[in-house]
Amino acid sequence: MIGNPPYVRSSRLDICYKKKLASLFPSSFNGSADLYTYFVASGISNLARNGVLTYISPATFVRAKSGQTLRRFIAQNSAVDTYIDLDETKVFKDADLHAAIYTLVNCPEQPSTVRYLHIENSHDLYRMCLGEIPTTSVAFEQPIEHGWAFHTSKFSLRAFSEIFDGCKNLGELGVTVYSGIRPGYAKAYIVDRYIYDQFAPNINSRWFKPTILPANIKRWSGAKKVHYMLIIPSGTHHIDDQILQYLLPYKEKLSARTEAKNKDEWFTLRPCSYYKKMEMRKIAFPDLSAQQRFSILEEGVYVPDGAYFIDTDNLVLLGILNSSIAREYFINRCSSVGNLSSKGRFRFKKSFVQGFPVPQFFNKNGPIQEGINQLVQKMIDDGESDKDRLQLDQLVSRLLARV
């Protein structure tokens, strides 16, 4: 028997209801967690010794930051026996989501292996229901912070762990990941070239910044298309009449934003402390992508909501982040939409990239670093080839081997 808890987003739960959930589930509550997570916690709490709980639900709790509390609760109070990743297979008529079926057992400790199956399409789902596709035993990794990971064997898990042994994450090395600018109502603040050209040159130079939308960020460098973002910092009291006239049709929408607390400054953006960082040359990447699209953005190019940037333009780091070795890391650490081993897309949340492990000396001078630097510059200038990607992976492997 498989339980099917209600799928209600956290954003749809009012404050009073969340307070009630917090009082009922103090050990598993997270203000950003969806409602189904409390059904998981409740089910575990009601299991008898060696009792079994099986649910089908969204798979978000497995990797998402909002699922950390539930993952900790599961690790402390049960063991994962089976995990069936349904990918984005349409299981329910009226819902499109990345779902999973999982079995939890009330036993004292987590075995090192679990039964696992990845369903890629409706045909495989049907065959599974007929018992034609069995689960296989895989090595299970259960870090609370990063989320669950499944490896084909204990050997592959050990090899994966050894690759990054001795590395430090970007945060520990003083490299910071920042979120893109969130305007609250993008239609008013982000314009294409046609709208931009209708403003006077002095207006453009004062109020607009070139902007690359997340979908247009190209791998390595550049963009498919450039837009422009109207930057009116919080605390701005007066704007040019041409800008004011442009924004007036959006006044009602802009005034309703939570950041528009001062009704006289309804046209400003939310407070941001890192505009100067945005002006630097930097590495940017979209939140949602089927592959790593870490890219160099030049000075003065802004990053909007739905993308992030790293406060460095180090080409060795850019090469490492776009390598196949990094892809393997992100497959085992990042949240995703769908299964990353097939048609899934990465959710490159800030915390996952901030925690990415690199050699402490990645930014020092050395023959391997110089080789990566030259190769990445070549790919920025001329595009990448299969030969370039293979050479990059070899250089990154040599760099990691020196840790």
Domain boundaries, the chain: 10-162, 177-401
pTM of the predicted structure, to 2 decimals? 0.80
**Which amino acid makes up residue 5?**
P
Tokens of 61: 């709790």
CA–CA distance, 110 with 107 (Å, rounded to integer): 8
- pLDDT at site 109: 84
CATH topology of domain 10-162: Rossmann fold (3.40.50)
- pLDDT at site 24: 94
Tokens of 126: 């049907």
CA–CA distance, 146 with 336 (Å, rounded to integer): 12
CA–CA distance, 382 with 393 (Å, rounded to integer): 18
CA–CA distance, 199 with 217 (Å, rounded to integer): 26
Provide the b/e sequence for 146-184 (b: ≥16 CB within 10 Å). bbbbbbeeeeebeebeebbeebeebeebebebbbbbebb
CA–CA distance, 124 with 117 (Å, rounded to integer): 10
- The single-letter DSSP state of residue 199 is S
CB 348 within 8 A of CB 331: no
Give the residue from 302, 118, 327, 281 showing the smallest Cα distance to 212: 302
Cα Rg of the chain (Å, integer): 24
Full pLDDT tens readout for the chain, 403 residues? 789 999 999 989 999 999 999 999 999 999 999 999 999 999 999 999 999 999 999 998 998 888 899 999 999 999 999 999 988 888 887 777 889 999 999 987 888 899 999 998 889 989 998 999 999 999 998 877 778 888 888 888 788 788 888 889 998 999 999 999 988 889 999 999 999 999 999 999 999 999 999 999 999 998 888 999 999 998 888 999 999 999 999 999 998 887 776 677 899 998 889 999 999 999 999 998 989 999 999 999 999 999 999 999 999 999 999 999 999 888 888 777 777 766 778 888 888 898 899 998 888 889 999 999 999 999 999 999 999 999 999 999 999 987 5
Q: What share of the chain is helix, strand, coil (3-state, %, to 5)?
A: 35, 20, 40
The string of DSSP letters for 210-221 reads: EE--GGGBPSEE
- For residue 299, how far is the Cα from the chain centroid? 24
Handedness of CA 243, 249, 255, 256 (dihedral sign): negative
CA–CA distance, 190 with 244 (Å, rounded to integer): 15
Please give the C-alpha separations between residue 378 and each of 30, 180, 196, 222, 392, in angstroms, as whole numbers: 46, 28, 33, 14, 11
